[in-house]
Structure 1
Amino acid sequence: MFDYETLKLTWWVLIGVLLIGFALTDGFDMGAMALMPFVGKTDNERRVAINTIAPHWDGNQVWFITAGGALFAAWPIVYAVAFSGLYWAMLAVLFALFCRPVGFDYRSKLENQKWRTTWDWALFVGGAAPALLFGVAFGNLFLGLPFRLDELMRSSYEGSFFGLLHPFALLAGVVSLSMLSTHGGAWLMMRTDADLHARSRSATRLCAIAYLAAFAGAGVWLSLGMAGMTLTGGVDFGGAINPLAKQVAATNTGWLGNYSQYPLTMLAPVLGLLGGLLALLGAQLNRGAVAFIGSSLMIAGTICTAGFALFPFVFPSSIDPTSSLTVWDAVSSQKTLGIMFVVACIFVPLILAYTLWCYTRMWGRLTDQSIEANPHGLY
């Protein structure tokens, strides 16, 4: 089995992989529903958009649940601080996600236009709000969160929900929302035809442009001098957990230090930008598969960009930098990480395999005619 230091680093990578898997799968679900009220002009078109993700949306949330479970098991202190300090933000995401299952199930129960329009907007909230709030959360990691640990490792959070709505965090939210909307638009391009396909193509193009502008803007904002953190000592990479033993200094200008120290990490923001350009090109050329590949690349590039910039910090503190949680001092025991690693090696490939099998079995374009032919068998 790996040594403790290697396991710590391995789980940082694995949690990143799970977050990318969640964004790639559940991301186009959220993106498609964020666009659905705008690209679907008739009831049938909106039903088509809904049914492109209907067989898969709940299965895609396995990645979300798995990522949350891995966070709890691998980084218990991070989980505790995040879910206590960010309680209202987490509840906002949770209640937005509630809109999806009830929206899918109730929308077509009545043939009433007002009823269905109400649920269409509920589905929009269930897609757009989490996409926006996840980005806001990542943006706040760069700003640091107002918490501190006492000598007994008890955390106290001194912020509020509205304090999370910093302009940079909102810009990061725009990055996330436009990114996942591009992904959802590309998905709709591949799965629909006629007017719905044409509007999805236009939406994909606009969202890709918005993503490129917001992503570049966030990079410029960071490079202009936002204070970042650097570990300066007191870290035992293979030792027991003790978050307060380290020394931290705010000397990492714009969180860009890792990119200078490890030039290969520059591939992540380049991948994000190239993916956005490829998604834009795919939409421009009316090639849904090309746009989807591009949006997938920009998701992977964007998440890796954030992870590489913050490393080794996982949950920085703005009021007590020493309390900041890192990859090295916020993890579970070596035995726990080792057992979880074996479990992940078995089950993550299984999840990936059955997910791909489901997509291949249920692939194909949906049309108005297929919706009309199944008034009760489809959403």
Structure 2
Amino acid sequence: MILHEFMSFEVLRVIWWLLLGVLLIGFALTDGFDLGVGALLPFVGKTDKERRVVINTIGPVWEGNQVWFILGGGAIFAAWPPLYAVSFSGFYLAMFLILAALILRPVGFKYRSKRESATWRRSWDWALFVGGAVPALVFGVAVGNVLQGVPFYLTPDLLMPMYEGNAIMKLLLLLNPFALLAGVVSLSMLLMHGAAWLGLKAEGTVQKRAQKIGVIAGIVAAVAYALAGVWLAFGIDGYQIVSEVVKDGPSNPLYSEVSRGGSWLTAYSERPWIVIAPAMAFIGIALAVLGLSKGKEVSTLLWSKLGITGIISSVGLTMFPFILPSTVDPNSSLTVWDSSSSHLTLFVMLVCAIIFMPIILAYTSWVYKVLWGKVKEEDLDNNAQSY
């Protein structure tokens, strides 16, 4: 009886909202530095050997890190079907752009060193740059659009018309000023994260170049994040549920009445404790920048992780319980309380997560322990498996 009460529909919905956040943060903390390193590649490595050092710092781990991306997409599909339907159809072109860029990464890793030609290798280096920079930017643009609300509406049978118009117009709608600012936050924080990783895994000139760029990226991330907060407070309307909130009711967003107006930041007066998220963001970035400038290694990467966790958490905590607001019809907005899968589905998924998440975490920890240490230029000549 106690277990049944604890695992009520309301509790399971909150748990899966939290788990979705954990998966997105896990992706940013692991594959995030891979993306950052890829975006830094042409700038921190001036010679072929230096660029090979950079590539081999992430070469053994980038595929495993993408597990978090796959888990996040799977969790959205299984736990929040309306969110999956609206976001993956409305953001179709953005998703295609991300996937096209991500496809360049495995191809670039595998083919770059297959020929001695400088032109060949330089071309693949820029492909790896695109594979890192474009997803880092577009992920932030997507979050910026979510904070503003997305133009979709639900019909009585829960079909979701969205973004009417041609494909180019759909993409241009996503590239609005606030979304681009959010993209700058995302790109710069992952550049900082990638620089922190190179500070840990590389040495010499490559390490120092990365740390210098990382300082600049961290400052840009903090300033852009602060500007986005001000813009969010005074330039973008928030959303509120104005009808009775049924937390264990059916998954039908049309049962709730939502109004648009005021500020998203009223959440901080209603739930003052969530200020911990932006505090973590600014403190983490500040200490990561200080660590990069001082040449610190392990602590810098940890502070960078703290900053990223704070930035991503602040978005979810500010919007709660909204997951995807609608600008066209606020009543169609998706929230934690009306957009989930069934009670049974969430419970079965939770059991699977309890079983498999520790296995994933244990294996990931073991891999990083085995691969601990710096990548040196002489290692590349002595290891036939290096890129």
Which TM-score bucket, shorter chain as reference? Answer: over 0.9
- 1:179 is matched by which residue type in structure 2? M
| Matching residue within 275, 278, 291 for 1:266 | 275
Q: CA deviation at 1:251?
A: 3.0
Note if 1:241 corresponds to 2:251: yes
Alignment match, 1:33: 38
Instruction: Measure the CA separation in 1 of the matches of 2:123 and 2:248.
Output: 54
Q: CA deviation at 1:189?
A: 0.5
Q: What residue number does 2:368 align with? A: 359
Q: Tell me the alpha carbon deviations over residues 123-161 of structure 1, each in whole angstroms, 9 at most, x when there is no partner.
A: 001111000000000000111111111000000012511
Q: 1:205-237: CA deviations, max 9, x gaps?
A: 111111111111111111224111011114321
Name the residue aligned to 1:281: 290
Q: Which residue of 78, 84, 107 maps to 2:83?
A: 78
Amino acid across the alignment from 1:264: W
d(CA) in 2 for partners of 1:241 and 1:365? 50
Residue 358 of structure 2 corresponds to which residue in structure 1?
349
CA distance in 1, matches of 2:86, 2:278: 29
What's the offset of the Cα at 1:82?
1.0
**Deviation string for 1:93-143 (max 9, x for gaps)?**
110100100000000000000000000000001111000000000000111
Percentage of identical aligned residues:
51
1:140 is matched with which residue?
A: 145
Distance 2:13 2:362 in 1: 26
Q: Name the CA distance, whole Å, in 2 between partners of 1:134 and 1:33.
A: 16
Structure 1, unpaired ranges of 5+ = none
- After superposition, give the CA deviation of every residue in 1:259-308 in whole Å (9 maximum; x if it has no partner): 11011100000100000001111011100222211110011000100001
Alignment partners' CA distance in 2, 1:377 and 1:307: 41
- In 2, distance between residues paired with 1:331 and 1:157? 20
The letter for the 2-side match of 1:192 is A
Q: 1:118 aligns with which of 118, 123, 129?
A: 123
Q: Which residue of 2 is the match for residue 93 of structure 1?
A: 98
Structure 1 residue 18 corresponds to structure 2 residue 16: no
TM-score, normalised relative to structure 2: 0.96
Is the 1:193–1:365 contact (alpha carbons within 8 Å) kept by the matching residues of 2?
yes
Q: Aligned partners of 1:203, 1:355: CA distance in 2, in Å?
A: 28
Residue 28 of structure 2 aligns to a residue whose secondary structure is: helix
Q: Aligned partners of 1:266, 1:151: CA distance in 2, in Å?
A: 38
Alpha-carbon distance in 2 for matches of 1:358, 1:162: 41
The equivalent position to 1:200 in structure 2, one of 202, 205, 210, is 210
Secondary structure of 1:157 counterpart: coil
Q: What secondary structure does 2:66 align onto?
A: helix
Q: Which residue of the partner structure matches residue 370 of structure 1?
A: 379
Secondary structure of 1:249's counterpart equals strand
Does the CA contact (< 8 Å) of 1:234 and 1:245 recur in 2? no
Instruction: Tell me whether 1:305 sits opposite 2:310 in the alignment.
Output: no
Q: How far apart in 2 are the matches of 1:187 and 1:85? A: 34
Q: Distance in 1 between matches of 2:163 and 2:367?
A: 45
Cα RMSD, aligned residues only: 0.9
Q: Deviation per CA, 1:175-225: give whole Å up to 9, x if none.
A: 000111111100001011111111011011111111111111111111224
Q: Structure 2 unaligned runs (5+)?
A: 165-169
The secondary structure found in structure 2 opposite 1:314 is strand
CA contact (8 A) 1:235 1:245 kept: no
The one of 317, 325, 330 aligned to 1:321: 330
The equivalent position to 1:179 in structure 2, one of 189, 193, 212, is: 189
Counterpart AA for 1:10: I
SS at structure 2 position matched to 1:252: strand
Are the aligned partners of 1:77 and 1:331 in contact in 2 as well (CA < 8 Å)?
yes
1:295 aligns with 2:304: yes
Per-residue deviation, residues 56-76 of structure 1 (Å, max 9, x unmatched): 100100111011101100000
Partner SS for 1:147: coil
Cα displacement (A) at 1:88: 0.8
Per the normalisation by structure 1, the TM-score is 0.98
Contact in 2 for aligned 1:189/1:197 (Cα 8 Å): yes
CA contact (8 A) 1:186 1:292 kept: yes
Write the distance in 1 (CA, Å) between the matches of 2:26 and 2:381: 34
Matched position secondary structure for 1:149: coil
CA contact (8 A) 1:103 1:120 kept: yes
SS of the residue corresponding to residue 156 of structure 1 reads coil
SS at match of 1:161: helix
AA matched with 2:360: I
The residue identity in structure 1 corresponding to 2:209 is R
Q: Report the number of matched residues.
A: 377
User: How far apart in 1 are the matches of 2:215 and 2:88?
Assistant: 36
1: CA distance between counterparts of 2:235 and 2:212?
A: 36
Q: In the alignment, which of 213, 227, 231 is matched to residue 221 of structure 1?
A: 231
Task: Kindly state the Cα deviation for residue 79 of structure 1 after the two structures are TM-superposed.
Answer: 0.2
**Does the 8 A contact of 1:19 with 1:67 survive in 2?**
yes
1:169 correspondence with 2:179: yes
